[in-house]
Structure 1
Amino acid sequence: MKDGPSIARVAALIGDHARAEVLTALMADRALTATELAGIAGVTKQTISAHLAKLLDAGLLAVDRQGRHRYFRLADQDVAGLLESLMGVAFRTGAVRLRSSPREPALRKARVCYDHLAGELGVLAYESLLAQRVLSAGADGLRLTPKGEGWFSALGIDAPALASQRRAFCRPCLDWGERRHHLGGALGAALLARIDELGWARRRKDSRVMAFTPPGEQAFRSLFR
């Protein structure tokens, strides 16, 4: 039987090594130029142009124009979620890089997954929110409890305002390293932004790593104990 959309075209696009490197780099939720992406993928500018055209045509990427410059980014959160899931399958099946980056342990501890916190600390936060009954997971999905609205307000996050946005409010995102969930959606993005505002952690330059300061990690773990 041939039911539902065909995944062959998208799978073939993602399966190319250079395009996979581009998509992975854009998981940091930072728009990059074709020149920057060519360097990341290890191909020429002419070659990267062809790759980017295919990804744009498939709806996996979007492009922002500023003057003569074009900046490429992931099309939306669904694409980011797909990539995170693929990373989880790759990690679980042993499809890891021959040479691990020195940042690999830091990536597994705390990193940006598109625009929300992932890694060991992201999973810790999600499971703590469930245990504290700030969030409730049921057959109808993930929901913010009445207690949760006050909890986020005390942290400086206006949950009702986030709920009125067009994007998904809150949803679980499967973590590739932990094989458990972290918090995605608008609420997850607001939580990561608040962590940054409080000075608990900073994203490392040219990396998805979120580096927590010792006092910041202590405060984080106290909040999500």
Structure 2
Amino acid sequence: MDEEPDLARLARTFGDPTRLGMLALLMEGRALTAKELAYGTGVQPGTATAHLRRLQEDALLGVARQGRHKYYRLATPAVARAVESLMVVARPVRVVPPRRQPQGALAEARYCYDHLAGRLGTGISEALFIRGWLRVEGERWELTADGERWCVDFGLDPAALRRRRRRFAYPCLDWSERCDHLGGALGAALAERLEALGWVARQKGTRVVTISAEGREGLAREFALTLRGSEEML
């Protein structure tokens, strides 16, 4: 039996102002909770849940769990392109931006298990993609040929890391930035290397990471990343 896209259903899904508003909020690239999407579109949490279920059923949203919370984001780049196309022809509409999440030292730079998170972790991950050193391979991340060479030059051993009994590299959702940072053996090794260089250090008894003056210079040089130092975060 032949099948064809159910454009009528998809049009009804897009046509609801609340659902379209949720998709527009997620165009920023940050993952948001159901409560934030409800707040941003001016509906009650129960109503938001029903809309989110419809968006998931139509494969427009993906969801990731982080502890007790669920975070929603656009399912694929194709969804983003579809929303962008609608934005080109649509009249402007006022939306309430979602509230920002925790600020300060923990959001600036911290450890997520054994890899770096916060603005530090997500900034480094973004730089690795911009420089063409990292690429997406399905649900995992992988080094490009240039990325392999950069790792060796930076003091990392990708071949040895792949022999470890853990995933090599994968996206880990950052709870404060709401976008992905680098997890896995590669993420852990990169964090260890930055510590060995004296660029970052873990504060005793916490997950907060401080950045030295040398580290600020190195991060700017290596990743075009500008972050505050420890004296500014404390």
TM-score (norm 2): 0.53
Return the offset for 1:201.
1.1
Q: How many Å separate the matches in 2 of 1:111 and 1:137?
A: 24
Residue 194 of structure 1 aligns with which residue?
A: 193
Q: How many corresponding residue pairs?
A: 136
> CA 1:222–1:88 in 2, change beyond 3 Å: closer, same or farther?
farther
Which is higher, the Rg of structure 1 or of structure 2?
2
1:217 maps to a residue whose letter is: R
Q: RMSD in angstroms over aligned alpha carbons?
A: 2.6
Residue 132 of structure 2 aligns with which residue?
A: 133
Residue 210 of structure 1 aligns with which residue?
A: 209
Structure 1 unaligned segments of length 5 or more: list them. 1-80
Q: How many Å separate the matches in 2 of 1:168 and 1:198?
A: 25
Residue 84 of structure 2 aligns with which residue?
A: none
Q: Identity percentage over the alignment?
A: 41
Return the offset for 1:215.
2.1
Residues 146-200 of structure 1: CA deviation (Å, up to 9, x unaligned) = 1111101111000111011110000010100111111000000000000000001
Contact 2:122 2:180 in 1 (8 A): yes
Q: How many Å separate the matches in 2 of 1:114 and 1:141?
A: 18
Residue 12 of structure 2 aligns with which residue?
A: none
1:86 aligns with 2:85: no
1:134 maps to a residue whose letter is: W
Return the offset for 1:141.
2.8
> CA 1:218–1:87 in 2, change beyond 3 Å: closer, same or farther?
farther
Q: How many Å separate the matches in 1 of 2:143 and 2:180?
A: 16
Return the offset for 1:134.
0.7
Return the offset for 1:86.
2.9
Q: How many Å separate the matches in 1 of 2:115 and 2:68?
A: 16
Q: How many Å separate the matches in 2 of 1:155 and 1:192?
A: 12
Return the offset for 1:87.
7.1
TM-score (norm 1): 0.55
1:160 aligns with 2:159: yes
Q: How many Å separate the matches in 1 of 2:203 and 2:69?
A: 22
Paired residue secondary structure (1:133)? coil
